[in-house]
Amino acid sequence: MATPLAETTVALNGEGECIAEGRDAAVAFLTQARSRDNVPIQGRTVDVAQLVVSELVTNAHKYAPGPILLTLILDSEFLEVAVWDSDPVLPEASTVDPLRVGRHGLEIVQAVAHDLTVRPEPVGKCVTARIRV
């Protein structure tokens, strides 16, 4: 990652409202970067960021007990969205199945993000998507 222009980490409580709080945090972060730091952020980037945050935080909320950390790092090329949770099980995108209901989150993130990584942490895991700005 190039030199960050802006970054933030938001602690989410892992309860139902944390998904909306994560989306709101991403919008606020990008809006501030656009207005305060004059970073040229397009509306599509904001929309994709909200989608990615929503999917990653939803997965953490559904499958990991307790708090979630959302880290957003912006450089001149990418917005990095990292979500840490306490569950050590590493997620895998399911094979494509148009008849399956649900469990499409990682497929969606892979489709809209430049790349997606999952890494184990000493406690839990961190799932990181990079979105081209």
The position carrying tokens 């990653």 is 56
Mean pLDDT of 26-44: 90
92 — pLDDT class (breaks 50, 70, 90): confident
Mean pLDDT of 89-96: 75
Would you state the pLDDT for residue 36?
84
CA distance 93 to 106: 5
68 torsion bin: left (phi>0), alpha (psi -120 to 50), beta (else) = beta
Would you state the pLDDT for residue 79?
97
Would you state the pLDDT for residue 94?
65
Would you state the pLDDT for residue 102?
60
**97 phi, psi to nearest 5 deg:** -150, 100
Mind listing the pLDDT tens digit for each residue in 50-73? 999 999 999 999 999 899 999 999
Mean pLDDT of the chain: 91
Mind listing the pLDDT tens digit for each residue in 97-106? 676 556 667 8
Q: Is the pLDDT of residue 12 over 90?
A: yes
